């Protein structure tokens, strides 16, 4: 057997294992409910096809060290078939264990239920089903392999069309609501929660053609530039203006639920921008960012509370109840957050990256434990937290209305955006950039490293506390359950996915990680699972994120120039096997 064939088989096994994994964690059964083409195709099937196909495609690539690729069709077919066979064997084994041996497999692997087995066997008997699965894999592999036979352009066009159809289908509920809101007829496009067949084909054709067109001119950016009168600069202005316009009118064309989700997205944009200053600009990995969020919420709650507060039916008087106006409370809250940020930061900011991360995590947890404790219940309200944060009257507008809250959070986010941009392109931003690259030299140039680290930390704290203030206003409670480590990790994921140090990246990251799961309910169940996978994948494949900040991208890839193993050690390890 040739090396290339072995590789194909191995990739088939991996592909099959991944599909089995998806089944075992329950994703397949959940995604089965999601229609792509209503009545015909659902997402789980598509997912499996993509998995088989993806690996099949890869096995048609050149191997390492330039080993020749075997004919793509053969490679793809082998991989696909093996993948299908792996899953088939799995179903047979499970069947054997449950039917013949009578083991209660479901007690251990809770996701193996009849639905899953039926799915894997296409509703047939185990043996027939397994064979069908092999066939399915084979076909998927064949089709993917054939992608190799197309020209690059054609390939990109086809992929674009398929991607558009799938995303159109996944986003169907949202798009449907939007189109309904604008009174655009869409029965031909969407049916229940998925696409109609015609809709799917239309999307495919339209986007494929668009891609074809843009590739002809050298890419979407070039295509736009060709429109008469556009230059790079005013292109950016136009996009920004459109975005702002879109943000402004969005609440009017979607329903309250979507407004709410977008508000949530805005919150994470705000928090992400704050963390971006700490992690992205100053290079400090802070895993305790939720602490500032909590400080903001609790400060606002305490400052604006009336003297007696109803906590779960009992009347408690918090130690501080200043009944100040929300808008007065905000600057005070920011000051408090900055002070706490400096207090936490001063002793720890000189620590090395990974230690700093753990220490900040520790602080976050300490603050949460304190706020949750019985000991400090009289101030912070214990597990139930504080309620009755005043709704903030602002020119007579009621801030419980989702639409108003929406504008509020985007105003805050806009402010954070402004701060971020201004700082980045200033002397302070330069100092941070120097500090990130080489602390010693920066110090030598007069950048007081500790001062600038504190500055970043304090600014991040201020922004985070704004988020907390918004939270308190929105829910009118400050409750410790909302301030867990998970929030810090969520914000970190948003920043990392978008691109560490990249300001537009934070927006994209938030939309993807916060917005999408809300709109795609089935994904929402597996949100953290997918976050974890995304973090790993991004760090391995593209550590600078989706919309990279140019400078950071360079810094992250600098180590590419100094190979991990020098030539000497590579030779030595290869020699001694």
| Of residues 152-211, those binding another protein (CB under 8 A) | none
Options 44-52, 237-245, 359-367, 402-410: segment touching another protein (CB under 8 A): 359-367
Distance of CA 259 to the CA centre of its chain: 19
Closest distance to another protein from the beta carbon of 26 (Å):
5
* Span 437-496, contacts to another protein by CB under 8 A: 437-438, 440-448, 455, 459, 489, 492-493, 496
The CA distance from 499 to 497, in Å, is 5
Contacts of 525 (CB under 8 A, 6+ apart): 30
| Contact flag: residue 348 with another protein (CB under 8 A) | yes
Sole residue written with tokens 């203030």: 469
Chain residues 104-143 in contact with another protein, contact rule CB under 8 A: 107-111
Q: What values do phi and psi take at 573, rounded to 5? A: -70, -35
Report the length, in residues, of the chain.
577
In the range 383-422, which residues lie near another protein by CB under 8 A? 418-419, 422
Cα–Cα dist 220/227, whole Å: 12
Q: Shortest distance, CB of residue 90 to another protein, whole angstroms? A: 14
Q: Is 556 in the site for another protein (CB under 8 A)?
A: yes
How is residue 460 written in tokens? Answer: 């991040």
- For another protein, give the closer residue by CB, 158 or 351: 351
Task: Please report how close the Cβ of residue 375 comes to another protein at its closest, in angstroms.
Answer: 5
Distance CA 200, CA 208 (A): 12
Residue 378 binding another protein, by CB under 8 A: no
> Among residues 72, 287, 305, 334, which is the contact residue for another protein, using CB under 8 A?
287
3-state helix vs strand vs coil in the chain, percent to 5:
75, 5, 25
Residues contacting residue 213 through CB under 8 Å, at least 6 positions apart: 223
Q: Which stretch binds another protein (CB under 8 A): 217-225, 305-313, 365-373, 503-511?
A: 365-373
Question: In the range 531-550, which residues lie near another protein by CB under 8 A?
Answer: 531-536, 539-540, 543
CB of 487 vs another protein, minimal distance in Å = 13
Q: For residue 376, what are the CA distances in angstroms to 204, 302, 333, 372?
A: 59, 13, 20, 8
Range list of H helices, 319-401: 326-348, 353-372, 377-380
Binds another protein (CB under 8 A): choice among 302, 321, 336, 434? 434
Binding span for another protein by CB under 8 A among 222-230, 231-239, 400-408, 436-444: 436-444
Q: Does 317 bind another protein (CB under 8 A)?
A: no
Residue 477 has φ and ψ, to the nearest 5°, of -135, 160
Shortest distance, position 293 Cβ to another protein, whole Å:
18
Task: Give the per-residue contact string, 19-58, with another protein (x = CB under 8 A; - = no).
Answer: --x--xxxx-------------------------------
Q: Which stretch binds another protein (CB under 8 A): 82-90, 135-143, 262-270, 280-288?
A: 280-288
Q: Which of 291, 290, 316, 319 is nearest to 303 (CA)?
A: 319
The structure tokens 């408090």 sit at 336
Identify the CA nearest to 90 among candidates 65, 70, 107, 109.
Answer: 109
232 binds another protein (CB under 8 A): no
CA-CA distance, 210 to 16, in Å (whole number)? 34
What DSSP letter does each residue of 91-124 carry, written as one string? HHHHHIIIIIS---HHHHSTT--HHHHHHHHTTS
User: Looking at beta carbons only, is 375 or 394 nearer to another protein?
Assistant: 375
Q: Which of 135, 201, 358, 546 binds another protein (CB under 8 A)?
A: 358
Our CB check for another protein shows the closer of 323 and 355 to be 355
**Shortest distance (Å) from residue 124 CB to another protein:** 26
Query: Whole-number minimum distance, CB 453 to another protein, in Å?
Result: 13
Token couple for 290 = 């939720």
Give min distance, CB of 433 to another protein, in A. 6
**Residue from 373, 393, 394, 481 binding another protein (CB under 8 A):** 373
- Shortest distance (Å) from residue 327 CB to another protein: 20
Establish if 100 lies at the interface with another protein (CB under 8 A).
Answer: no
> Which one of 45-53, 143-151, 251-259, 369-377 is the stretch in contact with another protein (CB under 8 A)?
369-377
CB neighbour class for 491 (10 Å; exposed up to 12, middle 13-18, buried from 19): buried
Q: By CB under 8 A, what part of segment 510-529 binds another protein?
A: 526, 528-529
Contacts of 4 by beta carbon, 8 Å cutoff, 6+ apart? 63, 67, 68, 69, 70, 75
């Amino acid at each position: 057997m040739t090396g290339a064939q072995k590789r194909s088989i191995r990739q088939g096994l991996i592909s099959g294992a991944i599909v089995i994994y998806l089944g075992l964690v329950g994703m397949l059964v959940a995604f089965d409910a999601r229609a792509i083409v209503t009545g015909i195709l659902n997402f789980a099937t598509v997912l499996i096809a993509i998995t088989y196909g993806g690996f099949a495609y890869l096995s048609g690539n050149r191997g390492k060290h330039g080993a020749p690729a075997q004919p793509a069709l053969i490679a793809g077919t082998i991989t696909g078939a093996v993948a299908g066979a792996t899953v088939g064997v799995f179903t047979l084994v499970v069947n054997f264990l449950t039917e013949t041996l009578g083991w209660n497999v479901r007690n251990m692997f809770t996701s193996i239920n009849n639905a899953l087995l039926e799915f894997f066997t296409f509703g047939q008997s185990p043996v027939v089903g397994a064979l069908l699965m092999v066939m399915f894999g084979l076909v998927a592999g064949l089709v993917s392999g054939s992608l190799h036979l197309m020209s690059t352009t054609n390939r990109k066009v086809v992929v674009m069309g398929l991607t558009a159809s799938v995303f159109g289908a996944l986003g169907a509920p949202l798009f449907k609501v939007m189109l309904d809101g604008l009174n655009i007829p869409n029965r031909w496009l969407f049916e229940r929660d998925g696409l109609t067949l015609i809709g799917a084909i239309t999307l495919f054709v339209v986007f494929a053609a668009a891609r074809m067109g843009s590739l002809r001119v050298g890419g979407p950016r070039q295509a736009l530039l060709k429109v008469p009168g556009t230059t790079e600069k005013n292109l950016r202005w136009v996009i920004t203006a459109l975005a702002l316009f879109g943000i402004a009118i969005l609440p009017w064309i979607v329903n309250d639920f979507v407004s709410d989700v977008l508000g949530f997205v805005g919150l994470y944009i705000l928090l992400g921008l704050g963390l971006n200053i700490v992690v992205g600009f100053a290079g400090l990995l802070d895993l305790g960012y939720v602490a500032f969020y909590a400080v903001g919420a609790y400060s606002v709650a305490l400052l604006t509370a009336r003297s007696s507060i109803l906590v779960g039916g009992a009347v408690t008087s918090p130690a501080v109840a200043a009944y100040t106006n929300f808008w007065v409370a905000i600057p005070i809250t920011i000051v408090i957050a900055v002070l706490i940020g400096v207090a936490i930061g001063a002793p720890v900011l000189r620590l090395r990256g990974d230690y700093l991360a753990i220490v900040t995590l520790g602080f976050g947890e300490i603050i949460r434990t304190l706020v949750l404790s019985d000991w400090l219940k009289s101030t912070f309200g214990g597990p139930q937290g504080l309620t009755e944060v005043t709704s903030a009257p602002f020119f007579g507008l009621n801030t419980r209305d989702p639409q108003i809250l929406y504008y509020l959070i985007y105003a805050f986010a806009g402010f954070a955006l402004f701060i971020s941009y201004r700082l980045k392109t200033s002397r302070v931003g330069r100092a941070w950039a120097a500090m990130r690259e080489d602390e010693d030299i920066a110090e030598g140039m007069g950048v007081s490293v500790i001062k600038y680290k504190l500055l970043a930390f304090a600014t991040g704290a201020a922004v985070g506390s704004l988020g907390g203030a918004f939270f308190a206003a929105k829910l009118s409670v400050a409750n410790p359950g909302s301030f867990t480590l998970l929030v810090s990790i969520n914000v970190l994921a948003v920043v990392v996915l978008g691109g560490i140090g990249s300001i537009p990246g934070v927006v994209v990251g938030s939309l993807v990680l916060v917005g999408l799961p809300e709109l795609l309910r089935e994904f929402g169940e597996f949100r953290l699972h997918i976050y974890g996978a995304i973090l790993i994948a991004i760090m391995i494949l593209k550590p600078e994120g989706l919309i990279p900040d140019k400078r950071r991208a360079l810094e992250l890839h600098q180590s590419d120039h100094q190979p991990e193993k020098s030539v000497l050690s590579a030779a030595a390890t290869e020699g001694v096997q």
